[in-house]
Structure 1
Amino acid sequence: MKGALAYAVLFVFCFAKGSIAERNLIPSLNNQPDVCPEQPPEPEWMQNIETRESYKRLLVQQIYRADSMQRIVDAQNCECDVRYPSWTSAESTFVKNYGAADYWDIVEATSAYGRQANELRKEAMPICEAAGNW
């Protein structure tokens, strides 16, 4: 009898803990960025892209991220307009170099830009932290 009671208490305790943890995972509907609140929005075509084409959006995002990190490192400056430039350059790079590319070429390019951004991030992060924009 004591064993059944112990299992029941353990079950209730675990269930209660799980529901508390679940409540902490509810996403916020607030889309306001923590730094540089005036960031330019993604181009409309990217926001409205069909699910089957979303891999193209991801490539443009990685191009933008890599360009942003490069600009910070080159300028040794992390002001908002340096860290979050217009999307025009990333869009142009995408259209010029990948507009007619097939799926696998875009996936490979996305990985390459992601790696480039991650490497540059190591140099850009301290610059942005010093400026309070990280």
Structure 2
Amino acid sequence: MMRVVATAGLLVALCPTAGVAERNLVPTLDNQPDVCPDQPPEPQWMQDIDVRESHKRLLIQQIYRAQSMQRIVEAQSCECPTRYPSWAAAERVYVERFASSEYWDIVEATSAYRHQANELRREAMPICEAAGNW
């Protein structure tokens, strides 16, 4: 009985605190990256892509990510221009290889590029951490 009373008292004491803390959270629309603040934005057409075509955007993002990790590993450097170049190379790969692909082919390619990026990430992460860009 004493445990029930103590638990109830604790809940009464903490609930108003949680409500106040939640009200103090202010959402921000500032999407400033933690590293390399001059990262190039995604091309506008990618941001405007129809939700039914969002799988294409995900593929381009994974191509870009895999290319980024590959450049870091090859250069053994994680300077911002190496890690975050323009989107042109990723767009080119998408247009040349996948622009006319069917949905499931794009999903499969996205998974392959994600896997490639994750494998390269293991090598790229220590390089970027040493440069303060992770």
What TM-score do the two structures reach when normalised by structure 1? 0.86
Query: Structure 2: 5+ residue runs without aligned partners?
Result: none
The offset of 1:17, in angstroms, is 5.8
1:1-134 superposed matches below 5 A: 9=9, 11-13=11-13, 15-16=15-16, 18-19=18-19, 22=22, 27-134=27-134
- Percent identity (aligned): 66
Three-state SS of the structure 2 residue aligned to 1:49 is coil
Distance 1:118 1:3, change over 3 A: closer
What is the count of residue pairs matched by the alignment? 134
The offset of 1:15, in angstroms, is 3.6
Residues 82-110 of structure 1: CA deviation (Å, up to 9, x unaligned): 00011000001011110000111101111
Query: Structure 1: 5+ residue runs without aligned partners?
Result: none
The offset of 1:29, in angstroms, is 1.9
The offset of 1:121, in angstroms, is 0.4
Residues 25-79 of structure 1: CA deviation (Å, up to 9, x unaligned): 7643221111111111100100111111111000000000000000000000000
What TM-score do the two structures reach when normalised by structure 2? 0.86
